Every structure is written in C-alpha cells, then in structure tokens.
Structure 1
Amino acid sequence: MVVPVVRRFAGAVALVLLVAGCSSGGGPVAPPEGCPAAGPAALACEIRAGDAVVHDPAASPEALADAGRRTQDAYQDLGDHPEWDAAVIAAVGPGLGGQTQHAVTAYRALTSLNGGPSALLPAWRVVDPLPAGQLRGYYDAAQHRFGIPWTVLAAVNLVETRMGRVVGLSSAGAQGPMQFMPATWAAYGLGGDVWNPRDSIMGAANYLAANGGASAGGLDRALRRYNNDVRYVRAVREYAAMMVADPRAFIGLRAWPVVYRTVAGDVPLPTGYASARRIPVAEWLATHPVTPGSR
C-alpha cells in the first residue's frame, strides 16, 4: 500500500505538511497594490493577482514563486473561514470562483484527515521542484502508457511531496516523490529508482492502473488503494479538477512552497531546509524566527 507523506492539514499529519497555505519565509509582505489589508475582499484580490501572474507567460520565476505563496496563503485563510466563501467566490468571478472552490474543498478535506500539530519538525530535505515542463512531460508520458490522467498524477505528487519539494520518509516509511512503501514499489516500480521523479511518477501510474484507475468509474477506487480515505480521494480529485479546468493552474500549484504545522504555529520550510533528525520546534525558531507576513 502506498502511504503518503501528507495526511494533514489543519494540523497536518503526524507530519503536518500543509497543502494550502505556506510561505517562502521572507520578511513582512504587503498586499498587492490596491488590495485591502484583510478580510474577504483581501483574499479575493490576492487570488486574482496570483492568477494574473500564473497566466503571464513573461512572469519571472521569482514572481511565480511569490504568486504561488500568496495564492496558497489566501486559499488557506479562506479554508479556515467558510463564512467568507460566498463573498470571495463572487468577488473573483465565475471561472476563478470554481478554482477557488476546488482549492478550499481540497484544503478542508486534508485538514480533517490529519491529527493535531507537531512539537517536532521533520527529518527531511526541502529542494526546488523540477522545472514545470519536465514534470509535465513525465506526467504526460505516464498518462500515455497507463491511461491515468496527467492531472491526477500531478495532484497526487502535490499532496504527497509538494511535487517533489519534500525529500524524506513518511512516518510509515514511504519513499520517493510519490511515496511508496518498499514492498509496493517492488511490485509496481517497474525496476526503477523510487527516488527518481520520472520512475516514481511512472510507478504511481502503473499502480493506479493496475487497481482499475484507467477504467470508467475506477479511479476513485484506485485512489482509495493509494490512501484508504475518502478525504484523500476528494483532495486529489479537487486539485486535479483545477488543472482540468485550466491546465495553466499546474504552474501555480507547482509554485506552492512547504510549511509545517506545529504547536508554535505554521513554520515555513524553505528550499535548503535539511535535517537528519526531528528538531524541536523551539530549537529551530530560536535561529529561524517566523516574521509577520512570512507564514
């Protein structure tokens, strides 16, 4: 059985990797020009601004990273305030309103799936994900070979390790960007390297297809085999739906960084974070304080 790194979210698993709402860990950040400082109108403005950057073919990597962080933060804030749903969805407009609904539904599903916050940060490394074109090529190749939609593979990769940003074992010992248990990888990994992104994505497609995921009506059952919880299936399906509705949404989702939910609050784990042991949160924060606006 495949066991994902994330089980998470309003507290996030025993691991507590947030799927919606994190930061690159910089200093205080002002809202985009013209956006209110707080409330539903602020979230709608942040979501619209982030979407505009994602759809700008000239956007720099730095701009995409900032837009991804801001948008993810906005989705988490909205996920924690369901009373704002109607106002925010109306304010962002019909198309983007659908994307917003998918994102917050996934966030809430994953939040309910996980336990409380952790007192320890994980024994992980956090790295930059592969370039978007390279990842998309791997998803497309796996879809062509096994019939599993690329959007589903990308969504699983997002939920499991934030599209490869997290390098480490799950609490159950699952490995690689798509989080396989060793015995499952031996059966479905096609002789590849579980830590290799291409091999891991291909193995996940093989596993899902072998469990009926490429057949009509079989995908949900296959995802349940990947993680036996309907909330996990819902989250994967919602993130996949974002990319079905707008393939460019993949660029925005890939830009979402890593945050860990702890007893001291949400702690950003930026690229370069590396620890061979679990670290007490207070020990980390003593040298890496989380400043206002850097959630």
Structure 2
Amino acid sequence: MAVERGRRLARALVVLVVLAVAVLTGCSSGGSTGGSPSAGCPPQVDPAALACQLRAGDAVVRDPAAAPGVLADAGRSTQDAYRTLGDHPEWDGAVLAALDPALRGQAQHALAAYRALRALDGAPQTMLPAWRVVEPLPADQLRGYYDEAQRRYGVSWTVLAAVNLVETRMGRVIGLSSAGAQGPMQFMPPTWAAYGLGGDVWDTRDAIMGAANYLAANGGANPSRLDRALKRYNNDVRYVSAVREYAAMMDADPNAYRGLHAWPVEYRTVAGDIPLDPGYASDRRIPVGEWLETHPVVPGAR
C-alpha cells in the first residue's frame, strides 16, 4: 500500500466526481443496444448537459443487458462529467436539484471524493507518468476477490474496491508510486513482507487479500475504527475521505460498482485531462508538450 505514508503516482489518477445541472429537457438515456450513452444530450458544457450525461450513464449502469462497449462509454462519459462538475462547485445546486434522490446521493458522494483527491493531488502535472496501462480484470472476477477477502478478514468489499479504485483504477495502472509502492493495491515492500501472506504483490487476488489483512490488523473490520485503518494505508484525511465516499456509493447501490469499474485512467495535466488508455506504456516520465505533438486530441480538456 502506498500504504502507510507513501505518496503515490496512482493518486494522480484522481478519481472523479459529480455533477451539476439545472434542466434535463432533451436528455435521452441512450440505452444498451449501441451508440453513445449520452448521444441525446446537448453538446455544450453546462449544468444541463452535464446532468444529462450523468442520468444517461446511470441508466446504462442499471441495465443488466448493457453491452460491454456501451458500459465502457458510459463510464468515460460519466467520469468526464464528474471531473468537470467537480471543478465547478457553483453548479452543484442546479445539478443536484435536477437529479432523482438516489442519483443525487451518488453524485454527492462522488463529488466529495473527487474534491478530496484533487486537493490531495495538488497542481496539474507537467509530465505524464512512467506507467503501463492495461485492461482491468472483469468486474465479476474482481468482485469475487473482494467478497473472498471480506469473508476471510471482515473488511467490507466496498472498502477494498474503493481502495483498488483510488490506488490503480482497479488494476489499470502498472507502475511504481513515487515512494516505491507496488502492485494493484500499492504496497510498500516492508508492509508487503509483513502482511502479504507470502503472495505476489503484482497478483491481483494476492494483493487484495494482503490489503484486507493489513486493514483488518489495524481495525478496519470495525466500522468505528475504519478511518484509523485507512490512515495507516495512507496517512492523509483526504485519502480516507475519498475511499469512504466511493465505498458509500457502492454501499448505497451495488450497481455503482459496475459504473466505477468502467472509469478509465485520465491524468490531470496543465493541458487538461489526458486519457491514458490500455496500451499506454512508458518507462520514463514524458513532458506533456512532447506527448501532445503526436497525440494532439485531448478529450475532456476544460
């Protein structure tokens, strides 16, 4: 775990948040049969358009028949809306008023998490990271690992999923943190040696079990001591808040897990949010300007 005190590059993933909107006229949910989930939303960036994106994405996440590609598109669209809205607190009232109560609650959690992580992450980056980005394991397979760890150690599966999301976007990011943390749950080597159960820090199941073991050893199976356990994982109240908020989204509605699992890696830079899709690979940090010379399109730049 970039656990204890180590800062992590994975933090730069900065997981995102919520919305803002006034009116939903003209918004269609898209549906799961094909096409963009927010195809019926206005093209401009304003509260009404962003709220439409969030409602459309929510409709896809709740549809058990949604095709994988449509779910992935909904994840990207929703994340982009959350990131934009998270940077515009003046839109909060209008957006939240336009959402139904269940989605409003999800939005409030997501917004709080994004703003906590953005404060933790600091200024936009001038360099892209030395990472590889890969496809995550399927949502059902990961959920099985979280559930197994919960049964064994008593730490909620939603907390484990939230840690995995914040640390490496559920395993999409392969790379060391700036402090030397490793694996999909970002362990420092001494911590892994003590709590990794003899497993492989880069193996997803082993890493999730190690994280549950570590959190449980610090009281994380007890809701009243969970904050303390998460601070041992990363000693910053903003990190604790973000994990708690994402876990609360899944506690309130397990469907939220499918949506969060679909969120891609987007890196916050001085040129805007740059998507780092599967296939991105660099063994060195890359100046943003150099990257944009060959990758000029920056979806989501604001």
Question: Per the alignment, do residues 291 and 262 of structure 1 end up closer, same or farther by CA in structure 2, a change over 3 Å counting?
Answer: closer
1:133 and 2:140 are equivalent in the alignment: yes
Which residue identity does 1:226 align to in structure 2?
Y
SS at the partner of 2:13?
coil
1:78 and 2:98 are equivalent in the alignment: no
Check conservation: 1:5, 1:161, Cα contact below 8 A. Answer: no
Q: How does 1:104-183 map to 2 (within 5 A)?
A: 104-183=111-190
- Tell me, in whole angstroms, the C-alpha distance in 1 between the residues paired with 2:67 and 2:10: 32
> For structure 1, which runs of at least 5 residues remain unmatched after alignment?
9-15, 22-28
Residue by residue, what CA displacement relative to the aligned partner does 1:77-114 show, whole Å, maximum 9, x if unpaired?
A: 11111111111111111110000000000000111112
2:14 corresponds to which residue?
18
1:224 corresponds to which residue?
231
1:12 corresponds to which residue?
none
1:5 corresponds to which residue?
8
Which residue identity does 2:221 align to in structure 1?
A
Residue by residue, what CA displacement relative to the aligned partner does 1:157-209 show, whole Å, maximum 9, x if unpaired?
A: 00000000000000000000000000000000000000000000000000000
**1:294, distance to aligned residue in structure 2 (A):** 7.4
1:89 corresponds to which residue?
96
- Tell me, in whole angstroms, the C-alpha distance in 1 between the residues paired with 2:188 and 2:46: 42
1:267 corresponds to which residue?
274
SS at the partner of 2:259?
helix
How many residues are matched? 281
- Structure with larger RCO (C-alpha < 8 A, sep 6+): 1
Question: Per the alignment, do residues 121 and 257 of structure 1 end up closer, same or farther by CA in structure 2, a change over 3 Å counting?
Answer: same
Question: Per the alignment, do residues 34 and 115 of structure 1 end up closer, same or farther by CA in structure 2, a change over 3 Å counting?
Answer: closer
Q: 2:296 aligns with which of 286, 289, 294?
A: 289
Which residue identity does 2:245 align to in structure 1?
E
Check conservation: 1:7, 1:110, Cα contact below 8 A. Answer: no
Kindly, what percent of the aligned residue pairs are identical?
73
2:69 corresponds to which residue?
62
TM-score (norm 2): 0.89
1:37 corresponds to which residue?
44
2:108 corresponds to which residue?
101
SS at the partner of 2:8?
coil
Question: Per the alignment, do residues 113 and 37 of structure 1 end up closer, same or farther by CA in structure 2, a change over 3 Å counting?
Answer: same
**1:119, distance to aligned residue in structure 2 (A):** 1.9
Question: Per the alignment, do residues 140 and 283 of structure 1 end up closer, same or farther by CA in structure 2, a change over 3 Å counting?
Answer: same
- Tell me, in whole angstroms, the C-alpha distance in 1 between the residues paired with 2:110 and 2:144: 24
Which residue identity does 2:89 align to in structure 1?
P
**1:281, distance to aligned residue in structure 2 (A):** 1.4
- Tell me, in whole angstroms, the C-alpha distance in 2 between the residues paired with 1:55 and 1:199: 30
Residue by residue, what CA displacement relative to the aligned partner does 1:52-89 show, whole Å, maximum 9, x if unpaired?
A: 01111111111011100111111111111111111111
- Tell me, in whole angstroms, the C-alpha distance in 1 between the residues paired with 2:43 and 2:99: 14
